[in-house]
Amino acid sequence: ATPVSIMVGTGRAAELGVLFRKGDALQRLDTVKLVAFDKTGTLTEGRPELSHAMAAPGFDVDEVLRLAASAEQGSEHPIAQALMRAAPDAPQPEEVTALPGLGLEATVESRAILVGAPRLMTARGIDTAPVADALDRTAQAAETPVLVAVDGQIAAVFGVADRLKPDARAAVAALKAEGLEVALISGDARPVAEAIARDLGIAHVTAEVLPEGKLDALRDLQQSFGAVAFVGDGINDAPALAAAEVGLAIGTGTDVAIESADVVMASGRVSGVVTAHHVSRHVMRNIR
């Protein structure tokens, strides 16, 4: 491709809402063998809703929800937003520490509150046996389990569910039709990641990874498949966006993700990836 055809290509992509930061990203995208997606906020809306609430014996579910929502007051995580919407009158917490990829810990009304993934409870030595049935139910419903501990005891499990973006299915199908492999890399629970992958026809799934783990998963895919594009929106996605041959950020995502990417898709739509790939292929192969 000539410098002029690359310029024309980036201009055409821009008209379609896909901003290539540098011309070499347009060239590299045509060499990509696999596209790996983040899940929350990338393939899904990133606006999960609370759909189940189950207290452990001896706890009141509304009271635990209020404490959890209080702990989440300062958090921008989509799960925090879901809990705060469900308990809008929760008080300010006394103290909060975010635990990226796990959840958070807080002091609310002098009580020690932990909110997050099952592995957070495991890491803190909290016995989750009293909520085993609730965990089974969230797994079967493909919901993200949000566990809450109060003063060192498991107190409740909340199930939260997020919707796929309307164009996610068509976008994944279009990439596969172009001969690309598609992968999912998520920090979320395995049943949730696998249900979405099955739904979209994604063959390669990595779930329950900590933020550093997203980069490791990406490197594994590069080893197995060659050049990889990564699509993400979160702070957690920044290292993978930077390390991929081409990083594509969802335009409605976090600033850190956008700054780490080679390509920014102005809208929140997934189909920007397909547009970017089309333009790259046309320019590099001189198709008119």
- Ranked by CB distance to ligand ADP, the top (closest) residue is 187
Please say which residue, 236 or 280, places its beta carbon nearer to ligand ADP: 236
Residues at the contact surface with Mg ion, assessed by CB under 5 A: 38, 40-41, 233-234
Residue 225: which residues within 8 A CB-CB, separation 6 or more? Answer: 33, 34, 181
Smallest gap from residue 285 Cβ to ligand ADP (A) = 35
Residues at the contact surface with ligand ADP, assessed by CB under 6 A: 39-40, 72, 75, 77, 79-80, 101-104, 115-117, 144, 146, 186-188, 211, 234, 236
CA distances from 122 to 57, 114, 119, 137, 197 (A): 19, 12, 5, 19, 26
Q: Which does 159 bind (CB under 5 to 8 A by kind): ligand ADP, Mg ion, none?
A: none
Smallest gap from residue 29 Cβ to ligand ADP (A) = 24
d(CA 69, CA 90): 6
d(CA 105, CA 205): 29
Q: Which does 104 bind (CB under 5 to 8 A by kind): Mg ion, ligand ADP, none?
A: ligand ADP
Q: What is the DSSP letter of 42?
A: T
- Determine which one of 24, 38, 233, 237 is catalytic: 38
Distance of CA 113 to the CA centre of its chain: 24
Q: Which two tokens stand for residue 101?
A: 């990829």
Smallest gap from residue 84 Cβ to ligand ADP (A) = 10
Smallest gap from residue 184 Cβ to ligand ADP (A) = 10
Please say which residue, 41 or 247, places its beta carbon nearer to Mg ion: 41
The answer to whether 228 and 244 have CB atoms below 8 angstroms apart is yes
Active site residue 89: no
d(CA 118, CA 95): 22
> At what angle are helices 272-284 and 3-15 packed, to 10 degrees?
160
Please give the positions annotated as active site: 38
